[in-house]
Structure formats: C-alpha cells, structure tokens
Structure 1
Amino acid sequence: MVQKRVVSIEDRIPKLKQERRKKANRKLIFYLLIFFVLIFIVIYLQSPMSYVKNISVNGLQWLSKEEIINQSEIEENVNFWGVQTKDLEENIISHPQVKEADVSKSFPNTIIMDVTELSHVAYVEMGGKVQPLLENGELLDDVTSSNIHGDVPILKGFKDNHYLQELAGEFSSLSRYVSALISEVKWIPSDSNPYKIKLYMTDGQEVESSIRNLSSNLDSYPSIVSQLDQTKEGIIKIEEGGAVFTPYNVDKEEEEDIEEENEE
C-alpha cells in the first residue's frame, strides 16, 4: 500500500504567503499602470500635443484651401477630440459653390475635408462683367480674366436668367468631351423660338440649336462632324429630328436645296 505524503501546515504557510504577495504585487502593478495611463491622458488632453496640427482639403478646382478652412469655422489650437465633424460639414456646405462635404479625423492630429464643388459650366458676359455660371443655374460675382478656365464656354447676349438656368442644366448633362468643343454660345431668340442659340465650336464649325434638349441633341455632334468633309466649315442645324450642314460658301438658293434634300 502506497503511503501518501503529508505536508504539514508549517510547510504550507510560507508558500501561501508568497502566492498572496505575488497576487498583491500584480494588482498593485495593474492599478499603477491604470493610474499612469490616466495621468498621461489628462496631460495629453491639456497639452498642445492634442491640438489639430494638419488640415487636408481635397477635391478643389475653383475654390482655395484657405476659403474652405475659413468656411468650416474650425478654431485655431482646437483639441483634436473636441472637433465636431458634422458641424464643420454643415458650415462648408453652406458655401454657395459647394455641393457636398465630408469631414473626417485621422489620428493623431489631422482633419481631412473632402469637398465636391458645384461645377462652373460656363462664363456669362453680362453688363460689362464676366460671371461664372454654376451647374445649379446660380451666377457668381464677376471674375478677372486670369481666373477664367478655358475648358468651359463663354455665353453672350443673354438677358434673362430663366434661359441661363435651363442652359446650365443642359451643360451639366453634357459629356466633358463635347463640352470642351464649345467655345462660345450666343442667345439668338426668334418669335417662334425664344430658346434658339448659336454655338461656336473649337473645330471651326457653328451649330444652331435650342436650349431645350441641347445635351441630347449635341450627343450626336462628334458623329455628325466625322461624316463631313474636314476641309469645309459651315453651320450645322441640329434639332430633335436630325441635323443639316450648310457650308459657309453656299448661297441662299443652294442652302434651301440642301435643306429640302435632307427633309426628303
């Protein structure tokens, strides 16, 4: 029969004391760690280390970074954790040239502002000034010639904002390729069609059309031009029913014959 070893209470007491001491030490270290972490957090939040150091603004074409930062009303030396991104977004969107805004934080001290601007679809010559026309039909204050972007057309002869608003909507629906081909647009209303316009294209052609359904009518412009004699320039009348090309050097009778042939 195997005899069990009996450990006396005197032998066990030192081991129990040692285990209790280890547990107590581990608890003390844990509490000290929490204490110092909390102290560090308090010091961090009260020190310049927690201030916003960098502001990144993305998506700008017409506005400047400084304009967006000022519009956001973010304060100097603001605490990174105290920044309310929703408030900044609302402030930025209230700018007349901003369509959308998204503000986010990037640890440790960067604020990121992603901005979508309302596109400048044209520049309007009116009253001796040149004013940007936004995609929503709003006109901005006049700009200097150095601030004009050459990839959108100049509008001339417009005296009624109603037609400008409709034209802005059509321009915003145009493809970038076709839009870049338009150099200048003149409003030439007639008794039968107050929406009539003439477009001067960068390839030397002229286009007569209507503000209404302009974007869908001009979708076919590249295809129309590709079928023409590249050495000839003239006027292309584009309507919903089709297009008619009349060279510049054609007299009135020949022009009528061309139109009759196209109608047939």
Structure 2
Amino acid sequence: MILLSASPSAWLLALVTAAAYALGAAVASRREGGRSHLAMAPAWALHALSLAWGQLGSTPHFGFAAALSMTAWLVLTIYALERELFPQMRTRWILGALGGAAVLLAALFPGRPLHVPASPWLPLHLTLGIACYGLFAAAVVHAWLMSRAERQMRLAAQLHGSLPLLTLERLTFRFVRWGFVLLSATLVAGWLFSEQLYGRAWLWDHKAVFSVLAWVTFAVLLLGRARFGWRGRSAVRVLYAGAMLLLLAYVGSRFVLEVVLGRVG
C-alpha cells in the first residue's frame, strides 16, 4: 500500500494552522464575551491558505481528507457568522479540535493529483458537493448542541454558552433544508450531465448509491418534520443516519481507495 503525503512546506503550514487553532481556542476561552471569538480568526485564515495551497498549487490534489478539511472550514465559517448573531455560543474547543485535526489529516492524505477537468462545469459540481457537506455538517453540530441542551434541561442543569432549544432546533432544520437543496442539485447534475462532467455515463457505484440513500433519508426527515412535526431525539437520529450515509458516499469511498487499497490515481 502506497500513501502520498504532502510536501514539507504544506506540512509546515498544516502544523502552524493546527497550533493556531489550539492557541485561538485557549485565548478565546480565557477572554469570555466581547470579541473573544476573533482569537480564532488567524487559524481560520491559515486554514483557508492551506486549502488554497492544496488546490491552486503547481500540482493540485483532492481526496477524502481534502473534502473533510473543506467541510470543517465551512463549519467554522458558519460558526463565525453565527457568533455575531448569537454571542452566547461557545463551542471553540470542539471546533478548534475539528479544524486542527482536519488540516493535519489533509496533509497526511493529500489525495490524487487533479487533471484538467473533462468539463468546465466540473469545479462547480464539486463546489456544490462540498457546500452540501458543509451545510449538513453544520446541521449535525447544531443537532448535537440541541441534544446536549435538552439533556441539561432534563437534569435541571444550568445552561452555559448555549442557545435556546427552539433556536437550535430552528437553525438545525434550516441547515438541513438548504443542504437538501444543494444535494438535490448535485445529484440531478451528476445524473443528467455525467458524460459532460466525468466523460462517462452515470454509474450506480458506491458513491451514487450512498448519495441517493442519503437524499431519501433527508427527504423523509423533512417530510416527517412538515407533516408530523418530528422533533427531538427521533429527528436527530434520522439526521445522523442521513449524514453518515452522505459521509460514506464520497469520503468513505475515497478513504477505501486511497488508504485501504492505496489507489491515489
């Protein structure tokens, strides 16, 4: 099994970014309130630079780890925007660990070299897919926060750094709805324009099967929410199931190819 690793300069940037995430989370935790969350801004900017380094360099690469790193960066971007609206949100250590781990994983497994795409629309198709991953990842994070807040309420514990339960629930399903729209657009584009995008007809491979299963799961979740008022643990479990299927669709299949089978071409 042959695994590619990033260049020394990319590794250095990844290590500096991970350290910046840890330092930013520590500083932000000590300076509660105000603009304390801006301590994470340098790490966020370095993460963006690391992504650009991998995609815009002399030999661009892409794979499962790069997809996870982009997804983590999008979740952190959403958190930064939400923090302006909801200052009481405090998940810095969790998101800092997520960002640091993702950027190091992308350096360890940079993926396969990217060739000239068969279609100029392929970058847009990939962008839609990554944005879809980011929105559903944000939904999962909010669902976890919602479950934690509900558990604390049942234990009559004081809620520290948490949004009201109804606000978390509303945000969770807002991300699910927009993620579902992007997932639908990605699947339709892949089905109708597969030959133009990839130079081959649509194939019912592992990626396609898991993507369609994820789409069906999220459709059932949104339908159950609209028609039957699904909420709480049942809704969260369905969301987690759909997110896991979606994760297996690209990240899982590429992980098997790149790490288990050692195919990076």
Report the TM-score range of the alignment, normalised by the length of the smaller protein: under 0.3
Higher strand fraction: Structure 1 or Structure 2? 1
> Taking structure 1 as the reference length, what is the TM-score of the superposition?
0.26
Q: Which has the higher contact order (CA 8 A, sep 6+)?
A: 2
Higher helix fraction: Structure 1 or Structure 2? 2
Greater CA radius of gyration, 1 or 2?
1
> Taking structure 2 as the reference length, what is the TM-score of the superposition?
0.26
